[in-house]
């Protein structure tokens, strides 16, 4: 009998998340700016920026994840517009590019902080808690290489923080 993989949701931790991307947060000092352009500049030749908004229905915890995605050649940025809390799950890739669910990292994010996924990072799509929500999503699309990859995985349960 196979035991289902359960991953606890952690508080946002920029150092733990760093191999997968970075968080987008407002500066603490009035008048200060934080720039995220460097991560968004990694993109396929011939691609164009795509900016869209979405509307996401809420989920409840514990949450069984069976579908993940990645964008092998470009970063993807989610900025909350009207979000209470949301879930971020990322996982590294094996040498052959397949995801490693047993090494997944999951965080419970406040609606006041965005996230940028590095190119090639397997991640959960926009998943919100508490209420229907909307994000602004920025990424690059086009060019010679297809960049959207979706994969069904054995269920991974994301558990509420203890």
The per-residue pLDDT for 2 is 59
In the predicted structure, residue 41 carries a pLDDT above the cut 80 = no
In angstroms, the CA 155 to CA 58 distance is 19
Q: What is the CATH number of the domain that holds 43?
A: 2.60.120.480
Half-sphere exposure of 129 (CA within 13 A, CB side): 17
In angstroms, the CA 119 to CA 150 distance is 14
Cα Rg of the chain, angstroms = 16
Three-state DSSP class for residue 14: helix
161 by Cβ neighbours in 10 Å (0-12 / 13-18 / 19+) ranks as: exposed
**Which tens digits make up the pLDDT trace of 76-123?**
999 999 999 999 999 999 999 999 999 999 999 999 999 999 989 999
In angstroms, the CA 12 to CA 88 distance is 9
Q: Which residues contact 112 (CB under 8 A, 6 or more apart)?
A: 25, 26, 80
Number of domains forming the structure of the chain: 1
The per-residue pLDDT for 36 is 86
| Domain limits for position 121 | 5-159
Task: Kindly report the pTM of this predicted structure.
Answer: 0.91
Beta strand 63-71 with 148-159 is: antiparallel
Cβ atoms within 10 Å of 151's Cβ, excluding its own: 12
β-partners of residue 128 are: 58, 86
Helices (H), the chain: 14-17, 37-40
């Amino acid at each position: 009998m196979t035991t289902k993989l359960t991953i606890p949701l952690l508080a946002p931790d920029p150092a733990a998340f760093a191999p997968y991307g970075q968080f987008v947060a407002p500066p603490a000092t009035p008048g200060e700016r934080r720039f995220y352009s460097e991560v968004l500049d990694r993109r396929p030749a011939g691609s164009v920026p795509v900016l869209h908004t979405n509307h996401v229905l809420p989920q409840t915890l514990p949450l069984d994840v069976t579908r993940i995605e990645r964008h092998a050649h470009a970063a993807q940025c989610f900025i909350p517009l009207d979000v209470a809390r949301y879930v971020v799950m990322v996982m590294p890739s094996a040498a052959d590019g397949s995801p490693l669910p047993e090494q997944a990292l999951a965080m419970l994010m406040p609606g006041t902080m965005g996230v940028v996924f590095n190119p090639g990072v397997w991640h959960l799509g926009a998943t919100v808690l508490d209420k229907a929500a909307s994000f602004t999503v920025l990424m690059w699309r086009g060019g010679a290489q297809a960049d959207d990859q979706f994969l069904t995985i054995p269920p991974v349960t994301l558990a509420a923080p203890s």
